[in-house]
Amino acid sequence: MITQLLDVNEQSLKLGASLIKQGELVAFPTETVYGLGADALNGEAVRKIFRAKGRPGDNPLIVHVSSKEGMKELGYWNQSAEDVFNAFMPGPITMVLKKKSLPDEVTAGLDTVGLRYPQHKDAQSFLKLAGAVAAPSANISGKPSPTTAQHVFNDFNGRIPLVLNGGECGVGVESTVISLVDRPMLLRPGGVTLEQLQTVLPDITVHQAVLKNVELDKAASPGMKYKHYAPNAVVILVDGNGEWLYNNACDCGIKTAYYKKSDAALEAKLLFSRLRDADQNQLDLVIFELPANSGMGLSVANRMLRAAAFTVLKQGQSMEIDVKGRKYTLKA
Ligand code: TXA
Ligand code: MG
């Protein structure tokens, strides 16, 4: 299959929408990350997303719409949904509601659905033409999410017919996911912060998986199984100053990138590019300083922890890493 990479304009948007109607996959920009879209009402088309990504079948997809009415058609509305919609939508947030009629493929058999109305103008134009679009992040499962059309093309060249290029994503991490089915709960921090949510949902709770590897707590599974956002390089987080660890790695001749803690919104915007660049530049190790767990820092920490398979070093601690079959002991 030839994969077209086209700038967003009237013509490419029409092509994209007609491909969606034909049951094909189209990647499109949003303000968070690029999505890999299929017609949300076509179970056969949605199955193609899981095949293309290598995504586990039990992980539900978000449905993207371009109006409040579009959301109400797909999920059972309540007062919290109304309040969240009015405060944050369109925007980088997804709300999980009890689902109405949708193919089981979209929701992985759950009786709930994640609904999102993106803020990105190109996404809105695309959705107005294409209708409800089910879309995960447009990356091969387990790899960092894509924040440019080129990232998508690198992962899916030859496997999908069209990537719509709308430039670099502004937010850089995925949408905030909240469940409003029962008591409001934050399932994934993202472009809307917990502090912002608390102004509308004062009693919102935070799911323990946000900063912890709960799957590993439950069962003695191999750690790598739950690695997400992972480049080929080893990723280590430092709770403190990473300079020591960086110098130590350089002294050992390990090809390393080191990112100091900085403005959390900027770190969010750059995070996935940094992880992808690590592979492009064939690095062996990436060191990040862990951000504070507040504001966008919580969203960045959530991704970094997964990229690092929850490996966090405090000052003075050491660990053994494996680089191309050689073992090194590094100290932070
Ligand atoms: O910003 C985003 O959300 C991007 C863009 C493309 O919109 N999409 C995205 O999709 O990140 P994905 O599939 O990579 O992540 C969706 C997350 C997954 O963790 C999934 O388990 C959760 O949302 N999710 C989707 N539907 C759900 C549901 N009904 N109940 C609980 N979690 C749900
Ligand atoms: Mg994803």
pLDDT at 317 over 80: yes
| Ligand 1 close to Cβ of residue 175 (< 6 A) | yes
For range 38-47, the mean pLDDT: 98
pLDDT value of position 227: 62
pLDDT at 171 over 50: yes
In this structure, which residue's CA is closest to atom 29 in ligand 1? 113
pLDDT digits (tens, 9 = 90+) for 235-293: 999 999 999 999 999 999 999 999 999 999 999 999 999 999 999 999 999 999 999 99
Place of tokens 């660890």: 245
Query: How far apart, in whole angstroms, are the C-alpha atoms of residue 221 and residue 91?
Result: 36
| Ligand 1 close to Cβ of residue 119 (< 6 A) | no
For range 302-323, the mean pLDDT: 93
224, exposed or middle or buried, with CB in 10 Å at 0-12, 13-18, 19+?
exposed
Lowest mean pLDDT among 18-27, 152-161, 163-172, 217-226: 217-226
Backbone angles phi, psi at 107, to 5 degrees: -105, 10
pLDDT digits (tens, 9 = 90+) for 54-81: 998 889 999 999 999 999 999 999 999 9
pLDDT at 189 over 90: yes
| Ligand 1 close to Cβ of residue 104 (< 6 A) | no
* Cβ proximity of 57 and 169 under 8 Å: no
Query: How far apart, in whole angstroms, are the C-alpha atoms of residue 143 and residue 229?
Result: 5
* Cβ proximity of 139 and 145 under 8 Å: yes
pLDDT digits (tens, 9 = 90+) for 111-162: 999 999 999 999 999 999 999 999 999 999 999 999 999 999 999 999 999 9
| Ligand 1 close to Cβ of residue 35 (< 6 A) | yes
pLDDT value of position 213: 83
The rounded mean pLDDT for the chain is 94
Q: Hey, which bits of 222-302 come out as E strands?
A: 234-239, 256-259, 285-289
* Cβ proximity of 173 and 300 under 8 Å: yes
pLDDT value of position 220: 39
In this structure, which residue's CA is closest to atom 13 in ligand 1? 136
Which of 257, 274, 269, 275 has its CA nearest to residue 296? 269
pLDDT value of position 217: 47
Which atom of ligand 1 lies nearest, measured to the CA of 116? 7
Ligand 1 centroid, distance to 290 Cα (angstroms): 24
For residue 304, what is the DSSP state?
Answer: H
pTM for the full predicted model: 0.96
Q: Which helix (H) or strand (E) holds 62?
A: strand 62-64
Residue-wise DSSP of 124-186? HHHHHHH-SEEE-BSS-TTSPPPSSHHHHHHHHTTTSSEEEE--S-SS-S--EEEE-SSS-EE
Query: How far apart, in whole angstroms, are the C-alpha atoms of residue 71 and residue 77?
Result: 8
Query: How far apart, in whole angstroms, are the C-alpha atoms of residue 144 and residue 140?
Result: 8
| Ligand 1 close to Cβ of residue 213 (< 6 A) | no
User: 258 to each of 243, 289, 296, how far by Cα in Å?
Assistant: 8, 8, 20
Which of 33, 49, 53, 94 has the most ligand 1 atoms within 8 A of CB, as the residue to mutate?
94
pLDDT value of position 223: 39
| Ligand 1 close to Cβ of residue 256 (< 6 A) | no
